[in-house]
Chains A and B, each alone.
Chain A
């Protein structure tokens, strides 16, 4: 079945460092891809999405490009801030059923 694999955390970076969180997926057809973020004590918030190959989703300085050839949707940010500390979930929805499938999440710690 469909699945999402993302890099294990925790990831610890200094403020202003470059961030990459890897995400790859397995799906039949043409899934839509998402990154959700969960800040401490809060729920899941949509960070960005891409619905077709070569689309780039972006929000709050984060970017991810839908790469069909490598089945990837890596999350990047050029200069992270302490406030970016959170758990990041890569996810997909398919055209075959109703649910969203999440990766295991990557905890990100940004040090001042």
Chain B
């Protein structure tokens, strides 16, 4: 069964460093997402991406965050200058159709900022 894959599974970084989290969405999907889950808390929406541009973003997704689809298969989340509070599990997701369709999640990238 097709799946969303994410790398790395776990990354430790120093505060202020840049981090890039990578994702390969399901191949025929058109809509891509990033969510995050701070330890013990709910899963929060960060950003959605369609047709090579951001379609929606939350207030969490401030100027230190950016997303990119550099080629036909990868979808990346960049955090420019990490803060301690960015420590969380980051989930990439994709769907074939927006608005009501099933969204498929990767296994997550656990980011620890020290």
- Residue ranges of A at the interface with B (Cβ–Cβ < 8 Å): 31-32, 34, 36, 42-46, 49, 51, 89, 93-105
Task: Tell me the bound Cα distance from A47 to B42 in angstroms.
Answer: 17
Among the 9-residue stretches B12-20, B71-79, B80-88, B99-107, the one with 4 or more Cβ atoms under 8 Å from chain A is B99-107
B100 touching A43, Cβ below 8 Å? no
- A-B CB contacts (within 8 Å), total count: 62
- Name the residue of chain B whose CB is nearest to the CB of A31: B100
CB-CB under 8 A for A98 and B33, given A34-B102, A104-B42: yes
Known: A94-B100, A99-B33. 15 other contacts (CB 8 A): A32-B100, A34-B102, A43-B6, A43-B91, A43-B106, A44-B91, A44-B108, A46-B105, A96-B99, A97-B56, A98-B31, A98-B50, A98-B55, A100-B103, A103-B42
Task: Tell me the bound Cα distance from A104 to B44 in angstroms.
Answer: 10
B-chain residues with CB within 8 Å of residue A105 when the two chains form the complex: 42-43
Task: Tell me the bound Cα distance from A51 to B100 in angstroms.
Answer: 8
| B114 interface residue per 8 A CB criterion | no
Task: Tell me the bound Cα distance from A38 to B98 in angstroms.
Answer: 23
Distance (whole angstroms) from the CB of A49 to the closest CB of chain B:
6
B99 touching A98, Cβ below 8 Å? yes
Task: Tell me the bound Cα distance from A93 to B86 in angstroms.
Answer: 25
B100 touching A99, Cβ below 8 Å? no
